Structure formats: structure tokens, C-alpha cells
Amino acid sequence: MKKSHKTIAIPTRKRKLKSRPKIAIIAHDAKKADMIAFAQGNIDILKKCDLIATGSTGQMLNKKTELEVKEMQSGPLGGDLQIGGLVASEEIDLVIFLRDPLAAQPHDPDISALLRVCDVHNIPLATNLSSAEILLRGLKI
């Protein structure tokens, strides 16, 4: 008996980019210096965006750059989940999350949930400097 395979069409919504894209920024402790260098190197682009970050990442960016960043809770205190909620509400256009892949995090389930919600809602997610550069330049603002 011959089996036939059906192609399943998965509907995708075309995301309309806002005039000021909203970018969520997160960096684990071991990656905070990289995030500062990244932000300073891309300050002209980032100034044209609405920025939101987890607690200590946002504090650090507000202190060490000319950027204005809205601060959520610290990641272990629910900040990753707060940003995940914004992703699920389609209020975030891009997530830059410089993770430390070599260290276990006490809030790994929250991190996994954030990564998953980005996939579910088709939100671009950069987890290292190379992908962050590419995605940020892709905004074309």
C-alpha cells in the first residue's frame, strides 16, 4: 500500500517592524563586559530603539553608556519571565541574550521558557555577539 504524505502549511504572520523597534537585552554576569562593548560599538543603532533589559544588565547599560534602558527585575528574580511575557504579547521585536553556556544558572527553567517563547512567536533571538551583530544590522533603521 502506497502512503501519501500531506504537506502542512503553517501560517506565519508577517511582523510589521515599528519605527522604533523594541529590543530586549539580557547578559549573564560573565558576559556583561561583552554586552557593554557591544552596546558602545552599536550605540548609533541602539539609540534609535526602545530598550528594555533585566535588572543588573539594564543598570549597567544605563550607567556605562549613553543609552536609556528600561529596567525589569533581575533574571533570577523573574526578569527573564517578564521579558518572556512581553515577547508573548508581541511587544518585543528582537531579543539579545548573551548567555554564559559554561555555567549553570539557578533560573535555567526561566531561561528555557524565554528561548521557547521566542521560537513560538517567531521573535529573532541572538545568544552570542556574532548573531547579535547580524540581527541588529538587519533592523535597517
Pairs from 55-60 (Cβ < 8 Å, separation ≥ 24): 55/79, 56/29, 56/32, 57/25, 57/26, 57/27, 57/32, 58/25, 60/27, 60/32, 60/35, 60/36
Q: Which of the residues are catalytic?
A: 80
